[in-house]
């Protein structure tokens, strides 16, 4: 075993960071959580939330830790997006960064934006310039979100546990950046038979009120095991 370590030792080591593309949904808009960088270089410029991987910590663990330190949120939907390893991507030294994207439920939306880290939600339709390759990461994250949302029920991660049809539709419209026909949308979603309709209404956005639904995780898993394919 000592010979192997010998072997590995010939090779260089690198700082490894995780950067998170954190999406939220509010006011009918898809938003991204960013902050102003606290140290040089590029101090004061917009940046994703990131941090260095520590000893004994996996990449996933590092990503979850960084998100937790920032927002206090745990058990958030997170998925690796892509690694960024250009030798000169960080002017302050070589850092290999693994980008993750995360979906924050609407319920937790406000608090996350009010954290002590100066986090700010910005609309994905109007993104400011960001440091280094963070803009590239976000673009890639958006593309991935679009594709994933069409083929897997991850949209629900961006909504509260109980939501209305108009809310759900508005979310998909924000992700796809296009308007959908509400009759066809309902038909499609309900045909998949993964929603539970509650007998309560949400009256916060209309006098009539809209029925609340819940996503049926168990039913969904059964369908998937039976070879079912979620598609919107």
Partner DNA sequence: TCAAAAGTGTTCAAGATACACCCATGA
Partner DNA sequence: TCATGGGTGTATCTTGAACACTTTTGA
Binding site for a second copy (CB under 8 A): 1, 3-5, 7-8, 11-16, 39-41, 52-60, 62, 80, 82-87, 92-96, 98
User: 225 is in the binding site of which of a second copy, DNA, none (Cβ under 5 to 8 A by kind)?
Assistant: none
Pick from 207, 225, 226, 227: which binds DNA (CB under 7 A)? 207
The single residue among 211, 217, 221, 222 that binds DNA, judged by CB under 7 A, is: 211
By the rule CB under 7 A, 209 interacts with DNA:
yes
Q: Are 144 and 81 in contact (CB under 8 A)?
A: yes
Q: Which is nearer to DNA, 20 or 164 (CB)?
A: 164
Spell out, one character per residue from 164 to 203, where the chain touches DNA: x when CB under 7 A holds, - when not: xxx--------------xxxx-xxx------------x-x
Ramachandran angles phi, psi of 56, nearest 5°: 75, 10
Give yes or no for residue 116 binding DNA (CB under 7 A): no
Rounded to 5 degrees, what are φ and ψ at 136? -65, -45
**208: CB partners within 8 A, 6+ apart:** none
Q: How far is the CB of 10 from a second copy (least distance, A)?
A: 8
How far is the C-alpha of 23 from the C-alpha of 218, rounded, in Å?
25
For tokens 């986090």, the residue is 119
Indicate which of a second copy, DNA, none lies near residue 206 (CB less than 5 to 8 Å, by partner kind). DNA
CB environment 4-15: b (16+ within 10 A), e (fewer) = eeeeeeeeeeee
CA-based end-to-end distance of the chain: 52
């Amino acid at each position: 075993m000592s010979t192997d370590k010998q072997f590995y030792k010939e090779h260089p080591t690198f700082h490894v960071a995780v950067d998170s593309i954190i999406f939220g949904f509010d006011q009918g808009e898809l938003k991204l959580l960013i902050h102003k960088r606290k140290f040089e270089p590029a101090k004061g410029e917009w940046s994703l939330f990131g941090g260095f991987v520590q000893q004994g910590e996996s990449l996933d663990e590092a990503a979850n830790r960084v998100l937790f330190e920032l927002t206090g949120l745990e058990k958030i939907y997170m998925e690796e997006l892509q690694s960024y390893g250009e030798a000169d991507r960080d002017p302050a030294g070589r850092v290999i960064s693994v980008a993750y994207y995360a979906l924050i439920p609407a319920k937790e939306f406000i608090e996350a934006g009010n954290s002590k880290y100066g986090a700010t939600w910005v609309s994905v339709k109007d993104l400011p310039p960001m440091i280094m390759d963070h803009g590239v990461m976000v673009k890639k994250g958006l593309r991935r979100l679009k594709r994933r949302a069409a083929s897997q029920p991850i949209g629900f991660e961006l909504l509260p546990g109980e939501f209305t049809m108009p809310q759900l539709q508005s979310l998909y419209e924000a992700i796809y950046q296009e308007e959908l026909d509400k009759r066809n949308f309902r038909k499609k979603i309900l045909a998949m038979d993964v929603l539970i309709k509650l007998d309560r209404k949400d009256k916060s956005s209309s006098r009539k009120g809209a029925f609340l639904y819940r996503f049926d995780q168990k039913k969904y898993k059964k369908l998937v095991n039976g070879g079912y394919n979620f598609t919107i």
